[in-house]
């Protein structure tokens, strides 16, 4: 099984790029959202740690946002509770798709949490900062301080680009982006088939 990890800035279009590969995707943001809504064990742990902030019956984005804004170190405390659950789910995903030729990992902290190894193909999605900011502002729950805290918790974009096997320039023009992805997918499959 070929494992492809998608790297890039928040709002650079990683999830869109992941979908274009046409293979099973492990989307960490979707998994985290599901954990917040449905994992009672995780909810109890976070509520116990931050009783002042968590008032709802499940973990709500605005409450977690207030928690991060109150103290940026809280982001790491939340991550320490949530990421082991994400990691377990990722291993279940690998087992479930063990017969597939390729899987794609859309995980913002793939590098930071050392969820990849030398057998992975890493693809960096490069976008212009002003384009990214324009897109982020359209998101519900957009908050510049939270975005900055999330960015600070990640390795630099230069580092991620340097360790990547391929770079995709995302100018948010659909046809050229799809063409770039098709070329890279073919290169990865050809390289793996010839080895």
pLDDT digits (tens, 9 = 90+) for 153-174: 788 889 999 999 999 988 767 7
pLDDT at 140: 64
Nearest to 136 by CA among 25, 35, 8: 8
pLDDT digits (tens, 9 = 90+) for 62-117: 888 888 888 878 888 998 999 999 999 999 999 999 999 999 999 988 988 888 88
The distance between the two most distant Cα atoms of the chain, rounded to a whole number of Å, is 57
What architecture is the 2-194 domain classified under in CATH? 3-Layer(aba) Sandwich (3.40)
Cα separation values, 129 from 13, 110, 179, Å = 12, 21, 22
Its pTM stands at 0.86
CA dist list (Å): 181 to 11, 23, 46, 176: 18, 13, 39, 9
What is the rounded CA–CA span in Å between residue 22 and residue 91?
Answer: 20
Query: What's the rounded mean pLDDT across residues 114-124?
Result: 90
Give the residue extent of every domain in the chain: 2-194
């Amino acid at each position: 099984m070929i494992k492809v990890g998608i790297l890039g800035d928040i709002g650079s279009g990683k999830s869109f790029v992941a979908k274009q590969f046409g293979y099973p995707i492990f989307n960490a943001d979707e998994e985290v959202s599901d954990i917040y809504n449905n994992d009672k064990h995780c909810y109890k742990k976070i509520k116990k740690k931050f009783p002042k902030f968590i008032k709802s019956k499940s973990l709500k984005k605005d409450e977690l946002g207030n928690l991060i804004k109150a103290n940026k170190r809280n982001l790491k405390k939340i991550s320490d509770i949530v990421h082991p659950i994400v990691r377990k789910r990722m291993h279940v995903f690998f087992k479930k798709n063990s017969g597939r030729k390729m899987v794609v990992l859309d995980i913002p902290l793939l590098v930071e949490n050392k969820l990849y190894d030398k057998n992975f193909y890493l693809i960096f999605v490069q976008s212009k900062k002003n384009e990214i900011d324009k897109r982020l502002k359209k998101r519900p729950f957009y908050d510049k301080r939270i975005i900055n805290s999330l960015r600070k918790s990640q390795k630099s974009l230069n580092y991620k680009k340097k360790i990547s096997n391929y770079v995709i320039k995302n100018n948010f023009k659909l046809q050229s982006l799809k063409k770039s992805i098709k070329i890279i997918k073919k290169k990865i499959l050809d390289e793996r088939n010839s080895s």
